[in-house]
Amino acid sequence: MMSYSLGPVLLKASSITRRVAELGARITRDMPKCGQILVVGVLNGAAVFVADLIRQMPPDLDVRLMFASASSYKDGTESEGAPKIQADWKAARGRHVLIVDDILDTGLTLSTMLRKARRQLPVSVRSCVLLDKKERRKTKVEADYVGFEIPDEFVVGYGLDCVGMWRHLRDIRSVKVEEDEGW
């Protein structure tokens, strides 16, 4: 059996707040002032990030929000491979789509999301991730907007979880994983 405990703080709440404001300002600057912007948050991990990010966007932008559900982690910190993604993709048609995820890791989730969004003939598709673990990439994909590059460590907090725990933390912290010795 695995046991998990909280490790050190990697990103303090104050740095996250500052960076989210910067990302919001950059995205707002880059987005066209007319047309609808469809923000697609990837559940569950990006819920906290996307909630903060869209509130950086000014009232004159026509921002819509929807969620996609993606699941690839079978348990704890081990990925199962290709993610299953469910969303109302038809909503992307004729809109400027911004896919928002918590973390870009192997890249399988983001590349699948991009492919599904592009099939719907949107006006444009961009992506924004809070965290980027570049060294773990299995597929060639980069996000247009990245909050922080982080080392290859499993992290929790600010929406990210480990077996459902620690999404509510304000800081982002690493996780210590230990295998319990059996009897």
Single out the residue of 63, 102, 117, 158 in contact with ligand XMP (rule: CB under 6 A).
Answer: 102
Cα gap 28→104, rounded to integer Å: 22
Closer CB to ligand XMP, 6 or 61, in the complex:
6
144 is catalytic: no
Interaction with ligand XMP in 137-156: which residues (CB under 6 A)? 154-156
Closer CB to ligand XMP, 105 or 171, in the complex:
105
For the chain, where are the E strands, in sequence order? 2-11, 36-43, 62-75, 78-86, 96-104, 124-132, 145-149, 155-156, 172-179
What's the one-letter identity of residue 13?
Answer: A
Angle in degrees, CA 114, 153, 68, rounded to 5: 30
Taking the complex as a whole, the smallest distance from the CB of residue 8 to ligand XMP amounts, in Å, to: 14
Taking the complex as a whole, the smallest distance from the CB of residue 123 to ligand XMP amounts, in Å, to: 25
Cα gap 174→131, rounded to integer Å: 13
Closer CB to ligand XMP, 89 or 123, in the complex:
89
Positions touching ligand XMP (CB under 6 A) are 42, 45, 72-73, 79, 83, 101-110, 154-156, 160-162
